[in-house]
Amino acid sequence: MSESGIYALNLYALQVPITIVIDDFLPISRAVEPMGGKIGLDGSLWGLLLEKAVAKLHLDYHSLISGSVNQGFQDLLGSPSYFSSMTHF
């Protein structure tokens, strides 16, 4: 955790690097659990912070509902992403 509660994550928008600055306030449900991603088994929050940064990049959390994993990889890596649903090897 950051002592200041501020994080800067490097993502990509249209394959151009961009730094997204977020705070550590996370949306919590009435059951006192994160509303989107989950806290890691080791107590890590990086997944939730990454989700918040991607939501900010796409304007809000509503933009992520039923979103594609491919879009998340593109935001994180800056390159096109392809998901194959092939189940045989």
Single pTM value for the model:
0.76
pLDDT 10s digits, 26-72: 877 666 666 667 788 898 888 888 888 988 998 988 887 766 677 77
What is the rounded distance in angstroms from the CA atom of residue 3 to the CA atom of residue 27? 19
Higher-pLDDT residue of 20 and 60 is 20
44, 35 contact by CB (below 8 A): no
What is the rounded distance in angstroms from the CA atom of residue 58 to the CA atom of residue 42? 28
